[in-house]
Each structure stands twice: as C-alpha cells, then as structure tokens.
Structure 1
Amino acid sequence: MTSAAPSTATKTQGFDPAIHRKLVAGIESGLLRDLHVVLAARSGDVILEHYAEGIDEAWGRPLGKVAFDADTLHDLRSVTKSVVSLLYGIALDRGLVPPPEAPLVAQFPEYPDLAADPARAKITVGHALTMTLGMEWDENRPYSDPLNSEIAMELAADRYRFVLDRPIIAEPGSRWIYSGGSVALVGAIIARGTGKSLPDFAREVLFAPLGIERFYWSAGKDGVASAASGLRLTAPDLLKIGQLLLRKGLWDGQRIVSQDWIEASFAPAVSTPDGLGYGRLWFIGDAPAPAFGAPKPWHAGFGNGGQRLWLMPDADIAAVIYAGKYNAWDAWVTPTRIWREIILANFLRA
C-alpha cells in the first residue's frame, strides 16, 4: 500500500507529486528498503507524504505486518532522546530543573558514596545532555544482548545507580560515548524537578499545546518511562515537533520553549566517531542543498531501525522518516538517501 494523498493534519498546498514519484521509483528499484512512512514539509506545507505496509515492532515486541497511515503510532526509538532534550529546555525555562553546568551526581542525593568521589563530582548535567559523561557504556552490542548497557540498565535493580556507578574512562566533556543511560538521568531530573512523570510532563507542556492527543511511552519493569527510546508518535505529530523547532520555539503565537535553548541544543559540543557534531541530544551535520548552491547545516534525531527527524533551518524543511530495519548495521542508508537525494535534491528555492 502506498499513498500520495497528503494528510489534512498539515497544510498541503506545497505537496509535490514529482518528488513523490522519485521516492516511489527508489522503492520500486530496491534502493530504498523497509520504509514505513516518509513525511516532509517546507515552511509548514507538506511537500512529500508516503505511507506503506511493513513488519513492525513496539520496543522489541513484534506487531506483525502493519498498514501505516497518518494515525499510526510508531516507535521513535532514540529520536525520543531529542524530544527529551526539548522537555529539559521547557523545564529549565520554568526554573524546575538545574542548569547544564550543575553537578550531575548531586541531583541524586540518595547516592552519597558516589557524590563523595572527586572524579564524579566533576560531571555535570550538561555532560549528560551531550553524552560526554566519560563513563564506560556499550550500546554497540545488539539490543537483544543483556550485556548491552541500555538493556543491562533496564534489568538492573536500580537504574540510576547502575548508570552513575559506571567506571570513569575519560575526562568528562572530552569524549562522546553513546549512552541511553545519560538520557535516563536527564529524564529522572525532569521528573524530580517537575513532580510529574516524563509522559505526564510531556503531555502538559509539549503535546497538548501542539495538539498532539495520542502517544505511548514504553516503560521498564520498574514503571519508569524510557527517556532513551520509549516514545511512540504518529508521523504528523513528530513533524509538528520539528516545525516547532524551526519556528524557534513558537507555536500559534505561544512560546513553548525558549529560542536560547534551541540554539544551544543545536550548537555542536563534541564530535562523534562518524564525524558528525553532537549538541544537547541532537546530531548535527551538513548536506548538499542544490537550491542554495552549497551545503547547509542540518540537525536530527536518529533512532534504531531508520527512525529520523531531520531539520534544515536554512531551507525551513522538516522531515520524518519511519522504517522497520531494527538492529541492522545499515539502517542509516535508506533514510539518509531519502533526505539527501530526494528531499534536499529536489526542492526549489522560493
């Protein structure tokens, strides 16, 4: 099943059948695989919308074949991390959470032994937001492996002690180590500061103002919602979050999050081994944009299986890609080709 008819959830006067035909040709040729949804908008107008059928799962639980449409909830996987960054900014704007320069372990007073460690005392909340804790963490193993650090955290008797007690292997701030554990700590600080669970706070301050009525947030056996990978949203609703960021935190005239937080989140704090920049739970890079004649910067949330929220502020483009290639080393190929070779390569400069 494919659909070229754009959703009524977003303005559609910019919908481009020619770009959609190029997407379909890529799918039919076998170059673009395991796609579930592609949705892109420029200046608030949908330019590309495509829904398909595919095998899916929810946080590892098989769902079988699903016919996707604008109302289908889908795992964001680690795109959840970028949404949590936004939630931290909202909480910070309201004075409910400590600033990034605050010491991290001090936010967990139940662990006085860890707080007494001079090496850990140097770690800040900002290091958690940029995955530069300097602590040992291994998510290179399959997520079916109990030795994968995120899975081990979920299985631990105390998830926060598990994260904070990891061996220190680098100076905080000096090295990017991908870590769902760091985001679990960020989520805990939000929950403690706001007095609300992460899903309840998200509903109140982000989802309701954007008109997002349906979502699901997977939780571990301890009932704690996964800040690292647990959120499920429809594609149009994730696109709204992207458009909020492109609008510098404003939605229908209402300030949702400060422009300062967005700019700081999108500023590269460290480099990843792949050569990308990384801000406050956002990947940062650049890509050719023929309409401009030169590469332009982009910001993105990346998730296991090919989940993407791409943003190019200079072109006012937001794109959502959902896919089902979970736990595959090459899951990045299809979404990257769609972003670079179809969306960016084919929009016209106004």
Structure 2
Amino acid sequence: MRDRLDEALRAGQVDGLHAVVAARGGQTLLEYYGVGEDFAWINALGVVEFGPGTLHDIRSVTKSVTALLYGIALHDGLVPTPAEPLLPRFPQYPDLVADPRRARLTVEHALTMSLGLEWREDLPYDSPANAEIAMELAPDRYRYILERPIVEPPGVRWAYCGGATALLGHLITDGTGQSLPEYAQATLFEPLGISRYEWMAGPDGVASAASGLRLAPRDLLRLGELVLREGMWRGQRLVPADWIRTMLLPRLQTEWGARYGYHWYVDSVAGHELVAGMGNGGQRLYVLPGLDLVVAVTAGNYDHPEQWRTPLALLEQVILPEIR
C-alpha cells in the first residue's frame, strides 16, 4: 500500500496531501505524513513538517463531530428531539419566533441542512461575502442565521449551511451548560484518549461548531472508528447506537450526488457503502462499514475547485486495491 502511495505522490495524483492514516479491524494499514504549507482557518502557518502529533484543521468534518455530540446530549435529555420546533429554543428573538413562516422550522431541518433560508458558502472562506464568514463576523451569529431570507419551504432541499451547525452547537451549549469544547472533552475526547486538540472560536468567543476543530490524524481516525463500532469504544458506550444509525440514514440528495443524513454524507465507492465527514481543502473521515475500514485524510488544497481529487484518489487508487 505504501508503494502505491509513493507512486501516486510521484504521479501528482495526491497533490496537497498532508497526512493519511488508514485502519482496518483496529489495525493500522497505512500511515503517512508529508510537508506542505498550512493554515489555521485563514492564519498562515507557513510550511509545516507534519507528524503523528501535529494538529490540523479538519474544517467541516467538525460538523460531523457536532452531530455526534448532539446525539449524546439527546440521549441525556439535554437537547430537543429532531422533530421539535427550532425557533422556540431562541426566545431572545421574539420577532422571529412570531413569524409563522419560520415556525415551520424544526431541529431536523438544521440536522439535514434543509432550513430553506438564503445561505451562500460557494465563495472563498476569506471573503466576508461567504455566509459562514459573515456569520462569524456578525454581532449576533444566531440572529444572523435565523433572519436570513426564506427562499423555499424547509425540508425540501439540501443546501450547504454552516449556520445550521451553529444552531445545533447553541442547542448543545444551552442544554448542557458547557461550551462545545468542554462538552466534547468530557463525553468524547477524554474517553477516546484524545488529549490534544484545538477548537477555534469567532470574534464573539463562541467555538465554531461548523469548522473550528483541529485534531491530529490518528485522533480523527478514532472518531471514525467510534462511528464504525456504532458508538462503542473499548467496551464503553459513548454514543447511543440508535443515534449512530439515525444519523447515518440518508434523507436528502446533495447537489453533487451523495446523500445526506444528520451532518454525515452517505455514498458508495467501488461498490462499497461509505459514510463520510468532509471538510474544505481535502479533509476527510471515511468510514466503510462493510470493509471494517476507516481512513483519515488531511490536506492543504483549501478553496481549490478540485480539492476532492486527492482524498478520493487515496481511497480508490491507494487503499481499496489492497483490501481483499
């Protein structure tokens, strides 16, 4: 497998690759660390020599981690069920709560990114015209999200929206009385043995539920192994199994072909079922249940229109041909 990776590197098929760790049945199949220019959000880190302990933006794979945290909090009765109305959880905005068109919004619409609100993230993430960046810069991020113009009924269409994840993050922090990093540390990271991480925050000090998490690749892999085992980790249940199954149930079609559950993508590759967390630049957490396989990828192709090529090439050309 390493020979195939070296060949792909020489051929330029995995440009921008920073690291990859793949494991099957809990045994490491492949582990590689490269060198490349990197960023923490828009802050340049220069050329980094990556290693097992190097933290890396996982960008929007953070959304999938937030979905895991939501399931834990739901099991403990600390957050509303998916079917519950969303706006009553934001009583600080009585004008929005009283809007009958917005009263149709439920928690599930946030979980499936089908709020039906105007939201554009198809612009570079260093531009204030990008809705997620505008949200981070807004005086009140939650009002910014919830007062976006209504463009269609909720639940009709998947539309990529970091604001939806921010709403879920608020429900978690409001229900648990802890910040997102604090709750993740207690319920996920510490039990998984993840001791080093960063969770970046906006100017308001609120940790970004949509894109703020920085992890080492081995620790990202552990989160994938947790999903593969339906919430079990070394004999301890961390996430309810029924939430994992519910979370990964495909509900809507994305604009590029994959299906979408609760903040996880559901697809297939080379005839194998695939669930994935995906982030800008080529960050990927692939889980292939039928092969007992988990792959964590970090890369530096931020905002590149073909950033998907490197992680997919790793999976299709390097890893899967060696799996029997």
For normalisation by structure 1, the TM-score amounts to 0.92
Q: Does 1:59 align with 2:35?
A: no
Task: List alignment gaps of at least 5 residues for structure 1.
Answer: 1-18, 289-294
Distance in 1 of aligned mates of 2:67 and 2:209: 10
Once the two structures are superposed, residues 154-195 of structure 1 have per-residue CA deviations (whole angstroms, 9 ceiling, x without a partner) of: 111100000000111111110111000000000000000000
Aligned to 1:171: 153
The alpha-carbon deviation at position 267 of structure 1 amounts to 0.7
Question: How far has the Cα of 1:106 moved from its partner?
Answer: 1.0
2:67 is the alignment partner of 1:85:
yes
Equivalent in the alignment of 1:43: 25
Q: Residues 99-146 of structure 1, C-alpha deviation per residue, up to 9 Å, x if partnerless?
A: 001111111110111011111111101110110001110000111211
SS of corresponding position for 1:47? strand
Distance 1:31 1:337 in 2: 7
Aligned length: 324
Q: Work out which of the residue numbers 292, 317, 325 in structure 1 matches 2:301.
A: 325
Match of 1:109 in 2: 91
Q: Which runs of 4+ in 1 moved over 6 A?
A: none
1:151 Cα deviation after fit: 0.7
Q: Does 1:303 align with 2:298?
A: no
Which residue number in structure 2 is paired with residue 158 of structure 1? 140
Matched, 1:315 2:291: yes
Of the three residues 257, 265, 290, the one matched with 1:283 is 265
- Quote the RMSD (CA, aligned, Å): 0.7
Aligned with 2:191: secondary structure?
A: coil
Say if 2:200 is the partner of 1:224.
Answer: no
What SS is found at the alignment partner of 1:181? Answer: helix
1:149 & 1:25 partners in 2: Cα distance? 39
Structure 2 SS opposite 1:208: helix
Q: Which residue of 2 aligns with 1:201?
A: 183
Inter-partner Cα distance in structure 1 for 2:141 and 2:167: 9
* Alignment-derived partner of residue 148 in structure 1: 130
Aligned equivalents of 1:24 and 1:39: distance in 2? Answer: 15
Matched AA of 2:321 = A
Runs of at least 5 residues in structure 2 that lack an aligned partner in the other structure? none
Q: Are 2:121 and 2:130, in contact at CA under 8 Å, matched by a contact in 1?
A: yes
Partner residue in 1 for 2:230: 248
In the TM superposition, residue 345 of structure 1 has moved relative to its aligned partner by 2.3
One-letter identity of the residue aligned with 2:297: I
Residues 278-332 of structure 1 deviation map (CA, whole Å, 9 limit, x = unaligned): 00000110111xxxxxx12100011000000000011110000000011111110
* Percent identity over paired residues: 52
Matches within 5 A, 1:124-139: 124-139=106-121
Following the alignment from structure 1 to structure 2, what is the Cα–Cα distance between the partners of residues 91 and 272? 27
AA in 2 matched with 1:51? Y
Q: Distance in 1 between matches of 2:303 and 2:272?
A: 30
Secondary structure of residue in 1 paired with 2:151: coil
Map of 2:164 onto structure 1: 182
Judge conservation of contact 2:4–2:317 (CA < 8 Å) in 1: no
TM-score where L is the length of structure 2: 0.99
Aligned mates of 1:266, 1:340 — CA distance in 2:
22
Tell me, in whole angstroms, the C-alpha distance in 2 between the residues paired with 1:344 and 1:130.
29
Partner-residue secondary structure (3-state), 1:56: strand
Instruction: Quote the residue 2:318 is aligned against.
Output: 342
SS of residue matched to 2:123: coil
Q: Contact 2:8–2:318 (CA<8 Å) still a contact in 1? A: no
Corresponding residue of 1:266: 248
Secondary structure at 1:170 match in 2: coil
